[in-house]
Amino acid sequence: MARGRIRARLRRSHLYTFGGCLRPTTTEEVPHPLQGPGYSRTVYCNQPQLLEKNSLFYCKNDVSTTKYNVITFFPKALFEQFRRVANIYFLLAACLSASPISPFSPLSMIAPLAFVVGLSMAKEALEDSRRFLQDVKVNHRKASLHKGNGDFGLRSWQKIMVGDVVKVEKDQFFPADLLLLASSYEDGICYVETMNLDGETNLKVKRSLEATLSLDNDGAFKDFSGTIRCEDPNPDLYTFVGNFEYEHQVYPLDPGQILLRDSKLRNTDHVYGVVIFTGHDSKVMQNSTKSPSKRSTIEKKMDYIIYTLFTVLILISFISSIGFVFKTKYQTPKWWYLRPGNIEYQFDPGKLGLAGMSHLITALILYGYLIPISLYVSIEFVKVLQATFINQDIQMYDDESGTPAEARTSNLNEELGQVDTILSDKTGTLTCNQMDFLKCSIAGTAYGVRSSEVELAAAKQMASDLEEQELNLSNFPMRKESNVPWENITEDEETELGTAVTSKDDGARRPAIKGFGFEDDRLMNGNWLKEPNADVLLLFFRILAVCHTAIPELNEETESCTYEAESPDEGAFLVAAREFGFEFYRRTQSSVAICERFSASGQVVQREYKILNLLDFTSKRKRMSVIVRDEEGSIILFCKGADSIIFDRLSKNGKMYLEATTRHLNEYGEAGLRTLALAYRKLDDQEYSDWNNEFQKAKTAVGSERDTMLEQVSDVMERELILVGATAVEDKLQKGVPQCIDKLAQAGLKIWVLTGDKMETAINIGFACSLLRQGMKQICITMNSDSVTNDGKEVIKGNILNQITNASQMIKLEKDPHAAFALIIDGKTLTYALEDDVKHQFLGLAVGCASVICCRVSPKQKALVTRLVKEGTGKTTLAIGDGANDVGMIQEADIGVGISGVEGSNG
């Protein structure tokens, strides 16, 4: 997209997103009272001399993620080495060898120990140096910094100080936590991608204070100054409290104006910001944890083996010393040729205790090779070579991103063969997190004839099961021609199996379109006009094209639009709308423009919808709405959201298609598709005007009640809706996932999937990736939604405990030795199941199941479940994830695998 297109001067408008509601509109508002501990930071913007004068020396902007530094390397690395019992033993032996009674020279014992410990420390230094080089690379990134007199110049990140004014260009990362001052858009908004922070791929909208909107060019900062008084550094990503003193006015600050380090600027040419938190004070670094020092199970077991060998060594030496004492007492005096009258103390019959003790020490040194030090040298060499092989494994190289495998530590290589339980994220790890619009239900009619991967997987499984039954039941050999192995079916043939060809011309295959897997001639090429409910279909397409927060980017080569959307689902909706003939092609701050093509002949009508209000989607609301005025002057509310939320808000006359749509949604859920319901409501001018007045009052309210008031006022408008239909998009599986899980299950590994998706979708994805199989008995642990509000905590916990006990009893009474069970539990129920008095019963049930799926879980619950499995079973756990929200789980497990995915990369 041309730079001028994004930077076009846009008139200030009404709300652009729901988050924009939080922007103060007056300068007379009372600022947040900053008092007490935790609110002591003062930032003098663009005034470095004041920082020095007031002795405000905040931490530098360089960061370090290494385990060691120059000062701490030797003490910490030595501690790591002498956590091994064997090394302590060798150290004691080396100390004893320095005594005069040692049969060996001290060098023969000290040199091997120094070599082993030195080699291990060198390996630690090598691995930590890679982290150091990554830190150096980040710290030396360049940022555009205000040097004075309105001039900006490049400076490395590590030299940025609190109070500096920074200019960040499109697709660059923010070098520190910044207060947004202005952007290339006239009303001070910008779009931020935060997947490195919270694992979310959707874009967030940030908006500057109105008072700083004029600071939109380099020269405007020549005389800029201001003071920020705010909270101290803390790890909370979603809160910020502070005041901004500028031009003799005080403005309250909130998270909507804060740009966090490691998030990326998107869809905005540039922004200006002032640095608030640097380096390890920034919120992303406050959330980071030190690299955990993990030891493999084999290494821990070797400690116990060393204890045993050391006990045997002492026993042998003690027996040898007793024999020596007897020999010295009774036989040495008779050996005149040894001159007993002039003998050394360690052989003196008159000092038997001293002689016995000296012989014990000598024996310990002599028999010390019972524990071979060379074994540890070999093991360390093998580990380093194994890590090298992993890094150079061509089968683990990703061609698309050019990313090889990287073993961050070689201490855990042998653990890979000991894994008992695998805990995996779903979105982006098992699936691609790339959505395809596959099916839809409009006016009670289902459209879309193509099968999902879940349905194809189910068909494969049923076919293989039938084949096995026929082979088992039949006494006659099967004809080879009648059995086609599913493994030999190609992707093209599989696509044909999943597609009901509605076109008369079988040879005409539509080229694949990213985000659009829909096939049904009833809606394509303008044929929807011939359908009985064409007016409802028209509304459906318009909701897809208008109800969103996406930005179109014109590809000048193809002259078609691509979309930067807040979520992959929203991008798929816009691609679908375009293919149906309703192309969204332009957005301003106050309107969206749509090209509507009503027939295959190419007749195009351009329509513009004025945006009056836009209420953004949040995880709490589970819906988004846009209120628009069309070209005829009508005011309409378009709404899309979770079916449970939308259905509760339908009017009496808006439920005409409810029964049929509900049936279709259940079918889509069984097919493993992600669904949303679409609805609308027509408003009269007076009704909208009254509501908007209330909305503006809520928007300009001050204090903690503002968010609650906004939600309440929004909820009033999102009522009495009329149902239009529902969408179904598919999140495709990563290549080879079903085959991989199938082989892991055959090897006896237990697989847990921890996902934020709803239960129906997770179950069907489980079938698609072979985690759940036909004939496997499912155990669902859930709690009644009514009980959450009506019953007390103890009653709910008792009910869950009862379900767990009954399920455990069912597994114990199962007579079929080959029976397999799958446990499915949701996040709310898991909250109670992870409490101290329930978690061991829950773990006992889960261990008895072949597969476990935890739905609607939070990042914290992922880490808690991993800890429970690791500590409760005492067996090796492996965690796999691709987003920052999986880091806790990865660090908690015995082995953590971070993969480069759509949501980010970690590990």
By annotation, the residues acting in catalysis are 425
The residue among 511, 583, 509 whose CA lies nearest residue 544 is 583
* Cα–Cα distance for residue pair 3/5, rounded to 1 Å: 5
In order of 88, 297, 364, the CA distances from 310 in angstroms are: 11, 20, 10
CA distance 38 to 257: 20
- 269 burial (CB, 10 Å; 0-12 / 13-18 / 19+) is middle
3 state SS for 558-625:
CCEEEEECCCHHHHHHHHHHHHHCEEEEEECCCEEEEEEECCCCCCEEEEEEEEEEEECCCCCCCEEE
- And the tokens for 872? 């409760």
User: Is 411 within 8 Å of 124 (Cβ atoms)?
Assistant: no
d(CA 242, CA 274): 14
Q: What residue spans of 148-215 are helical by DSSP H?
A: 195-198
DSSP-assigned beta bridge partners for residue 54: none
Report the 3 state secondary structure along 763-803: HHHHHHCCCCCCCCEEEEECCCHHHHHHCCHHHHHHHHHHH
| Gap between the Cα atoms of 809 and 54, Å rounded | 69
Reading the block at residue 532, the tokens are: 């009985």
Cα 94 off chain centre by: 49
- The per-residue DSSP string of 646-670 comes to HHTTB-GGG-TTHHHHHHHHHHHHH
Residue 279 contacts residue 241 (beta carbons within 8 Å): no
Q: 294, exposed or middle or buried, with CB in 10 Å at 0-12, 13-18, 19+?
A: middle
Q: Could you list the beta-strand ranges (E) of 3-113.
A: 41-45
On whether the CB atoms of residues 121 and 134 are closer than 8 A, the answer is no
Gyration radius of the chain's alpha carbons = 34
Query: Based on the number of CB atoms within 10 Å of its own CB, is 780 exposed (0-12), middle (13-18) or buried (19 or more)?
Result: middle
Q: 177-183 and 189-193 as β-strands: parallel, antiparallel, unpaired?
A: unpaired
Task: Return the number of other C-beta atoms located less than 10 Å from residue 124's C-beta.
Answer: 21
Pairing mode, strands 551-555 and 445-447: unpaired
CB 654, CB 723: distance < 8 Å: yes
Candidates 719, 823, 831, 840; CA nearest to 778 is 823
Would you list which residues are annotated within the binding site for ATP? Answer: 425-427, 570, 617, 640, 674, 755-757, 856, 862, 885-886
Binding residues are 425-427, 570, 617, 640, 674, 755-757, 856, 862, 882, 885-886
By the 10 Å C-beta count (0-12 exposed, 13-18 middle, 19+ buried), 273 is classed as: buried
Burial 11-46 (b: 16+ CB within 10 A, else e): eebbbbbbbbbbbbeeeebebbebeeeebebbbbbb
* Closest by Cα among 772, 889, 876, 890 to 824: 772
- 779, 766 Cβ separation under 8 angstroms: no
- The binding site for Mg(2+) consists of 425, 427, 882, 886
